[in-house]
Structure 1
Amino acid sequence: MDFQALRFFQAVARLGSISRAANELNYAQSNLTAKIRQLEATLQTTLFYRHNRGTTLTEKGKLLLSYTDELFQLLEEMESVMRDDQTPQGSLTIGSMETTAAVRLPALLSTFHRQHPAVDLTLKTGPTEQSIQDVLHYELDGAFVAGPVEHPDLACETVIEEELVLLTDTHHQPLSSLRDIENRTILVFRNGCSYRARFEDWLRYEGVIPEKMMELGTLDGIIGCVSAGLGVSLLPRSVVEKHSEATQLVLHPIPRQFGKVNTLFIYRKDQHLSASLREFMNLSLML
């Protein structure tokens, strides 16, 4: 099998265009076209539908892409294992919910950087659903997500138990039931956020239909809008407690079935645990 042809195929599949793939790889477009045609001839199948907007994978093309991604991931892992001398070094990419990154991780990241300066650590924040997919597709070495997570390819370690609280401004009337917020705007992160999903589950359980739901992109944005009286939100107590005295916030306890959530550290079961990832995980379990 021609590995270069598979690299070309992977790039075209990812970018959806032979010309864009040629520009990214710095090869002549004619070379990529020829390699793709040779690959199709070797496999005796059509891998792409060609159209005026670029290319689209056929069903056989989608199948080959999954094998190709796995093949190159295994090759990279093999090289990593061969180079690994048990000294934490090289790149390490970790995902995290924004709330965890804001409150729980600064001290951890500082300690890890101080102890292992040769590691090029990158932190990417995003909702739980996105981080899970990024770990599954080898785009993250590991990630802090909200549990529970059940996937046959993922290993999970519980690192924190969070208590969720309902967040309102100080001018909001005392809460006797969830229906007291029925006419308020619900402030949430985008879809895929576990805290948003938990809030929506609670609303459905109580039969409450909010008048409006507004998505915000940052933790500070949500806290600031709640403080200003724009709406209410559901967030971990550890995240908002330090803001409650300095800003116009009130924290309300919620039923335990919706108010407790574990923060997990996840990683692929089949991946090689580099020295860098092992050391990072060891520190994480001390949060």
Structure 2
Amino acid sequence: MELRNLKTFQVVAEELNLTKAAKRLGYTQPTLTLQIQSLEKELNHTLLTRIGKKTLLTVAGKKLKGHVDQIFGLIEEMEKEMEELHGPSGILTIAASEYYCRHHLLPLINTYMEMYPHVRVCLLPLNSVHAIQSVKDHVADIAVIASDCNEMDIKQTFLEEEQTLLVVSSDIYKEQSPEEIFSQYPFISYDKDCSFSTIIDQYFRKREQQPQSMIVVGGSDETIKRAVLNGNGYAILGENVIKKELTDGSITILQQVPEPITTSAINLKVRTEEPNIQTFNTFLQKAWGGTEGQVHCP
């Protein structure tokens, strides 16, 4: 039984129109008809029937269509796996926060694609909570997150650890003591969807004291930094995010926060050996330290 004849039958069964099927396959209609007749003779079953102007599948044709779809599905999977043995190729989808995308991944992608020109990278801006779920759902191949992921089916690759700091505008610090700041100013926080909120919760739980009031500004550390500079309150931020402001003296450290930000790349364990994931993880580990270490909506 020739695969060529089976493929012709599959297309005819999909189109149920000999003219369209012939055009799609690049055959003449007589050639297509001969191939179908050859297949019917070999199987000793009529596969197609006509009712008026309509072409329909017979019972045998419907059964054969199911088997043929499975056969060509397996062939496509086989060809894909064989192609992957030649090296990375196709689409690599990476989920990460907008800040990670902008300050870490975008500077690295061109270099990676120069090394592996057959790979096309797709960035998916998501915070860590949603990025983890995207990997589990096979929407993303890899995610860069700013939190721990202790799930059994996830492989976590360490990239960076960053000190977290409780900070306030230096203008406020000059006029108020830390106790006065804590009692008179609100705490500026990430929303609960960001994994960074876990660090905040742990900090206040250990202090056994909650903020007098709170402003939730979403998931952007840039927005929180601007709110601190504007004197809206105090906040917990990653050291790298405020490196410039610490240097120029516009932001003052109130306390060091014990829990650091841990940045990692994650992927499903069963997919670790796939060429795209394997090569990008290796590349990311080597290159991450050379990009600006900052975090946005962990």
Q: If the length of structure 2 is used for normalisation, what is the TM-score?
A: 0.61
Q: Which structure has the larger Rg?
A: 2
1:189 paired residue number:
190
2:78 & 2:177 partners in 1: Cα distance?
A: 59
> What code does the residue aligned with 2:146 have?
A
The question of whether the paired residues in 1 share the 8 Å contact of 2:217 and 2:223 is answered with no
Over 3 Å counting, the alpha-carbon distance change for 1:111 and 1:124 in structure 2 is same
Q: SS of the residue aligned with 1:135?
A: helix
1:144 paired residue number:
144
Over 3 Å counting, the alpha-carbon distance change for 1:204 and 1:107 in structure 2 is same
The question of whether the paired residues in 1 share the 8 Å contact of 2:89 and 2:120 is answered with yes
2:205 & 2:278 partners in 1: Cα distance?
A: 40
Deviation track 1:185-223 (CA, whole Å, cap 9, x = no partner) reads 333333232222201221122122221231234332222
Compute the displacement of 1:249 (Å). Answer: 2.4
Compute the displacement of 1:224 (Å). Answer: 1.6
The question of whether the paired residues in 2 share the 8 Å contact of 1:195 and 1:235 is answered with no
The question of whether the paired residues in 2 share the 8 Å contact of 1:182 and 1:208 is answered with no
Compute the displacement of 1:246 (Å). Answer: 5.8
1:178 & 1:79 partners in 2: Cα distance?
A: 67
The question of whether the paired residues in 1 share the 8 Å contact of 2:93 and 2:124 is answered with yes
Deviation track 1:133-161 (CA, whole Å, cap 9, x = no partner) reads 11111111111112322111111111111
The question of whether the paired residues in 2 share the 8 Å contact of 1:168 and 1:232 is answered with yes
2:162 & 2:131 partners in 1: Cα distance?
A: 18
Compute the displacement of 1:88 (Å). Answer: 2.3
Over 3 Å counting, the alpha-carbon distance change for 1:170 and 1:284 in structure 2 is same
1:169 equivalent in alignment to 2:169: yes
Compute the displacement of 1:177 (Å). Answer: 5.9
2:215 paired residue number:
213
1:91 equivalent in alignment to 2:125: no
1:266 paired residue number:
266
> What are the ranges of 5 or more consecutive residues in structure 2 without an aligned counterpart?
1-73, 289-298
Residue 234 of structure 2, aligned match among 216, 223, 232: 232
Deviation track 1:113-148 (CA, whole Å, cap 9, x = no partner) reads 332343221222322221111111111111111232
The question of whether the paired residues in 1 share the 8 Å contact of 2:146 and 2:195 is answered with yes
> What are the ranges of 5 or more consecutive residues in structure 1 without an aligned counterpart?
1-73
